[in-house]
Each structure stands twice: as C-alpha cells, then as structure tokens.
Chain A
Amino acid sequence: MADDPLSAVADDVFRQSEVLFKALIENAHDVIIMLDREGRVLYASPGVRQYGNDPDEIRGKNVWANIHPEDLPSIRAEFAKLIEEPGALARIDVRVGNRDGQGPWRYKEAVLHNLLNLLSVGAVVVNVHDITARKEAEEDLKKLNLSLWEENQRRRQAEEKFRNVIRDQTEFIVRWRPDGTRTFVNESYCRFFGKSEAELLGTSFFPLVLDEEARTRVEQLGSRLTPERDVSEYEHRVPRPDGSIGWTHWCDRGIFDEFGKLVEIQSVGRDITPVKDAAEKLQRLSDELAHVSRLSLLGEMMAEINHEICQPLQAVTTFATAAIKGLEVDDEGSRATAVEQIRKIRDQVQRAAEIVKRRLAYAKAAESQHAEFDIQRAVGEALEMIAHTARRRGIRLKTQLDPALPPVVGDRLQIEQVLVNLLRNACEAMEDTPPGEREVLVRASCDNGAVRVSVRDRGSGLSGEIVGSLFQSFASTKPGGVGIGLVISRRIIDDHGGKLLAQPNPDRGTTFAFTLPPATGEAGHA
C-alpha cells in the first residue's frame, strides 16, 4: 500500500485526519467514548482519566460497570433502542463512577450517536460532558426551592393562624389612610358597627367619632404621628347599629414608609361601653350623694342662712320706716334723704336676693360639671357661705391666697362644698376656744404644680382615735353630727384626683388640707 502513490496520499490524508481527529477529541474537555454493540469500549479519549480510568485499560471492557446501578436499567434500555436505529441520537443524564462501580458519582450528560453502520466509524459514539456542577446547583436549587416552599408554607400557615386570630378576637382592627379611608377591617370591627367589610372599606370612619374633641384628634392624627412618636391612645363615643351610643377605646399606630412618610394608621379598639356605663353610673351616684349631702348641709345651716337674709331685710324695713316717717314730716331735705334711703333699700334687696340666689345655686345642679375654674373664687364663695356662722360664733376668718395659682379642673360647686364642710367643722371645733382666739385660716398655695388648699382651726383638736376613722362614714367629732360630710368631701377630692388629709397643728387645733391637680391641656377626661 505504501508503494501506491495514490494510496500513499490516501494514507497520508488518513493519517492527517487521524491526527486532526485526535487533536480535536483528545484535547477536548469532553470525553469521547466509542462503544460497540455490546457496550464494550472501542476507544476512550484521555479525558476518562478524570474519573480514575485509564483509556487503554478500559478498552475492550464493558462500560456498564461504571454506571450507577440505579441508572443502569434505563441506560441499557435506551442503548438497546439506540443501536436498532442507525444514525439515531440519544441524550441521557447518567451518574458515572469508577470501574469498581463505586462513587464518587458524577453527573454526566451523554450524547449517544449510533454510527455503527458508518463504515469509517462502526461504533456508537458517546460524547460525555460532566454536569456535576450543574446537577449540584440544580440539586441545591431544588433544596432551596424546597426550603423556600416550606418557608412559604410556614408563612402561609402563620398568616392563616394570624388571620384567624384577627377574625376571632373581640378587639376591632381597622387600618386607614390619614384621610380616614378604611383599607382593612376585621370581623369584629364589622360586627360592632353592624356593616359588611365591603360597606366599610374605602369609606371614612370619621363620621363614627361622635365626640368633637376626639374627631378633631383623629382628623389631625396624620400630622401628629411621627416615626418617633407613632402611638396614640384615646376614647370616644360611636353610634351602635341598634341606635344606642357606645364607648370605644382606641390605640393607634402609624405605619410609615422607608422615607418616614405616614402611609396608614392601624387602630386597635375595644368596646368599653359597659365600663363607661358603670363608671358613669358610679359618677352619677357619687354626684347624687354629693348633692344630697349638700342639701343636708344647707339644712343644717338654715338658721344661719335665715339670719344672713334677715340682715339686709332688717335694714330694708328700717330704711323704709325712716323714709316714710321723714316724708310724713315733709320738711326741707326730707325728700332728698328719703331718696337716699330708698336707694339703700334697693341695694339691700339686691344683697338679700344675692344670698338667696347663691344658696339656691348651691342646692341645685346634681350632675357634676367638670370645667376649669379659679380656686380663689371657690374659696371666696365658700367663705361667704360660712361668714355668718363664723360671725355668730365670734370667729375671725383669715385667708392667705397665693395670687399666682394655676386654674384647676373639676366641679367648682363640689369643691366649694368640701370647703364649706371643712370651714363648718373648723367653726364647730372652736366651741371651747376663748372668744378672742377663735380663728380659721384658709390658705391656698401651689405645691409641686398641684393646688393645695388648707383650713386651719384653733379648736380642741382631734383625738388619735378619731383621726383614724375620720373619713369613714358616721365617724363624727360632734355629738350631734352624722359625720357624713368628711366622707363625701374625701370622695369628692378623690374624684378630682386629689387628696384630703387631716393633721393636728403643733400648738392647737387641726388643719385639713386637700390638693387638686392643675388643669393641663391634656385633661384626663376624654
């Protein structure tokens, strides 16, 4: 064959093509294996070394031994099918190990090409590409997916649970935009207001806020909440589906975006109607009790009130008689004198009317009226109430009122009642005090921001036994007294958030003092 120049050329071409072939496949990263019909290795490119096989050693040996037993049946079936069909291509994923049929298993993508019938090849050409990295990535991805899925599942379960909690709980939850538009409502919110979710979402809840002050508050909440101060608590009344008025307590929390802009507000509310009803009922009873005790105090003071009113009436009678007698004489100047006297009569009638009016005002008004008031005024009016009692008993009333007292919040009449009670007690305690030493001192001062009012007498003082039970019903320092006055007084002061205390003076007598918290912008009454 070597002598034939043509054949020599052919040989040469063949050799060259073989070199080219080898150069191509043996330097390729992929492994090329050629198998016969039985799966025996006819050729293996040097790449098989990567898997611990020697290309020469495995030649002639069956390839199946290298395949993962789990993959083998499907691979053999695939192979059998392939060899029946000349020119067919098959792509398989397979795990390949070393000759001992052991791991480490690597994932291969193998493309099998049936070239058995091609004379120049006569083999199944297998192009093996390592896909372990990809497979592992896929595996990881699968795992990741799984955990993601699991996470999702968990989250979904948690959400479900949370949703159930929100749905089942009695607290109302509503989310709303700063303009009041509801974006979320839970079932108890819907139940409480007697409307469906569809009716409530997208509409403003502001009209439900019946209290002016609270409504202004929620309307302005959008501008008041900041990421630093994101919670607001308040109470207000709402209309109930049955037409009644309910009381609700709300805790609002602002929800902000990453720029600190308020997006929504989440309000969690409670129905506090029964609590409010009970509190109101209690307040009413308390007010009624205060009123009854005020009336009984007026009753006790009837003789003094009578005397007080008699004073101007007596002056009126006397002036009138003088005027009549003067006019009967009808001499010079008597007319002018009579006019002057009639003017005085008018003044005294007004004075009497004022006394009556004041006492009536004191007897009236059972419902408590909480408003800001000046404690000096209350002290002044209480002193007027007691002025006659004091006068009758020869008691001097002295005051030391700090002119710069802050206003207090409460029911002025009830505070006056407390003062009248304390003043009366003080007067009665001085029955055995020598006339020249009978004195009551009323002091009003500022004590740590609170207003402190004290009533000091120079009386017989309190025995230790009395001090302990002083503020209990029916304990009395007076033989005839029922002793309810101090109990009511303490209750009134308690209702006003203050304290009423009694203390013996170092020398003689007792000092009763009470405190009242000052009026502030944020009053405790919602």
Chain B
Amino acid sequence: MLSDPIVYIVDDDKVSREAVAALVAVMKAKTQLFDSAEEFLEKYDGHRPACLVTDLQMLGMSGLELQARMAADGITMSVVMITAYPKSASAVKAVKAGAVNYLEKPCRDEELWDAIRAGIAADKVRLKQEQELAEIRARMATLTPAERKVMDKIVKGLSNKAMAKRLNVSVRTIEVRRHQVFAKMEADSVAELVRMVLAVGEEGE
C-alpha cells in the first residue's frame, strides 16, 4: 500500500507552482499541480504518502477553506501553507487547525525545502499510525459482542470475578472470552490492549 511520496501543489500563481515543483523534483518526489483548491478536491485520488503545498490566499477557495474541506472529507496529509500575511488572524487559525507547517513569504534559507521533506516524513509516520489503527479496528471487528463486552471491562480494570458477577455468567466463561480477546486482538498484555482501545478511541460504551 505504501508508494512513492507525492507533493500536491495548489496555487493560482503559475510561477509559484513551477517553483515549488522544481524544488520537489530535486527530492525525487512526484508532483501534481492544481491552479485552484476546487480543482484539487475534484481530482484528488487518495494517493499516499502526500504533502500539500498551498497559498493562504488564492482566487476562489482559499488555502484555509481547502484545509477545512479536507478535514471534513477525512483527507489527512501534511499541509505546508505559505502566506504573505504573517500577522493575520487566519494564519494563527491555520496553525491551530493543525497544518503541519506554515511559512511566511518569502521563505528563509531552506525553510520550504525542509517543510516539504518534513511534511512527507510526517505523513509517512501518520500513515503508518493510520494503518495500525485500521488493523486494530479490523481485529476488533472479529470480536463477538460478548467478547467485546469483556474487553471493555478488562480495559476498565475489572477482575474476572467482578466481570462474571456483572455479566451474570460463570468465571470460567469470562476466562474463555478473555483468552479469545487477547488472541484476536493480538495483545500480549493488558497494557497493550488498553493502548489499542484508547488509540481507536471513540469506540466503547
């Protein structure tokens, strides 16, 4: 599933697009150029790992609006936002919204170079994490509802006895289900199981 990294360049200024593309070409990474945020959203094919380089101010949808749309659509990737308005409130908002990097025009030294490389690297890490999560979810999906209930109680730190009493089954039954949970979730310890459940997060009671 992991393929060559790609850098999406979204800017309404042709020269700016070309400049970033030239820089990315030296990194031996692939590039795809778009002259508007709308075009990017339309043509984005989910290629990973990726980094998005865009301008805060563009004709049509702004970089910030694009970021919000991507979040809403569940597109996660590193974003390098470049702007000539360093002190503007929108820049601060961009940082808070979790853009990987935000740069002031004109960039100093190798800021952009570093930011894109860091963006790609971060996306690789995040992608790895996402794949891990997906695996945990897949394992979780194999649990029966009864086993699921037992896992939730394990995470909450209940003893087998307490569980048996709470679920109105025998301690032996709990022990069998507990074994199944550890086997299906491929967990070696309670601590690891807790980490997995917390990583998936929203699930649970």
> Which chain A residues have a beta carbon within 8 Å of chain B's beta carbons?
303, 306-307, 310-319, 321-322, 325-326, 329, 334, 337, 341, 344, 348, 391-392, 394, 396, 435
Query: CB-CB < 8 A to B62: which residues of A?
Result: 394
Determine whether the beta carbon of B84 is less than 8 Å from that of A306: yes
> Which chain B residues have a beta carbon within 8 Å of chain A's beta carbons?
12-13, 15-16, 18-20, 22-23, 25-27, 57-60, 62, 82, 84-85, 105-110, 112-113
Closest to A313 in B: B106
Determine whether the beta carbon of B22 is less than 8 Å from that of A316: no
Closest to B60 in A: A394
Query: CB-CB < 8 A to B16: which residues of A?
Result: 311, 314-315, 318
Determine whether the beta carbon of B105 is less than 8 Å from that of A391: no
Further 11 A-B residue pairs, CB within 8 A, beyond A315-B18, A337-B22: A307-B57, A311-B105, A314-B19, A314-B107, A315-B13, A321-B109, A321-B112, A325-B27, A344-B15, A344-B18, A391-B12
Closest to A316 in B: B106
Query: CB-CB < 8 A to B107: which residues of A?
Result: 314, 317-318
Determine whether the beta carbon of B105 is less than 8 Å from that of A325: no
Tell me, in angstroms, the Cα distance from A396 to B62 when the chains sit together: 15
Tell me, in angstroms, the Cα distance from A98 to B106 when the chains sit together: 134
Determine whether the beta carbon of A310 is less than 8 Å from that of B106: yes
Query: CB-CB < 8 A to B113: which residues of A?
Result: 321, 325
Interface-central residue, B13, B25, B26, B113, by most chain A CB under 10 Å? B26
Question: Can you list 22 pairs linking A and B with CB atoms under 8 Å apart?
Answer: A306-B84, A307-B84, A307-B85, A311-B15, A311-B105, A313-B105, A314-B82, A314-B107, A317-B106, A317-B112, A318-B22, A318-B107, A319-B19, A319-B22, A321-B109, A321-B113, A322-B22, A329-B26, A337-B25, A344-B15, A392-B57, A394-B62
Determine whether the beta carbon of B26 is less than 8 Å from that of A312: no
With contacts A307-B85, A314-B16, A322-B22 taken as known, whether A391 is within 8 angstroms of B106 at the C-beta atoms is: no
Instruction: Name A's interface SS.
Output: helix
Closest to A317 in B: B106
Determine whether the beta carbon of A391 is less than 8 Å from that of B59: yes
Tell me, in angstroms, the Cα distance from A319 to B25 when the chains sit together: 11
- Minimal beta-carbon separation of B63 from chain A (angstroms): 12
Query: CB-CB < 8 A to A307: which residues of B?
Result: 57, 84-85, 105
Query: CB-CB < 8 A to B18: which residues of A?
Result: 315, 344
Q: Which 3 A-B pairs have the closest CB atoms?
A: A318-B19, A307-B84, A310-B105
Closest to A303 in B: B85
Tell me, in angstroms, the Cα distance from A391 to B58 when the chains sit together: 7
- Minimal beta-carbon separation of B100 from chain A (angstroms): 18
Tell me, in angstroms, the Cα distance from A319 to B15 when the chains sit together: 10
Interface-central residue, A321, A334, A391, by most chain B CB under 10 Å? A321
Query: CB-CB < 8 A to A312: which residues of B?
Result: 15
Query: CB-CB < 8 A to A435: which residues of B?
Result: 60
Determine whether the beta carbon of B19 is less than 8 Å from that of A315: yes
- Minimal beta-carbon separation of A201 from chain B (angstroms): 74
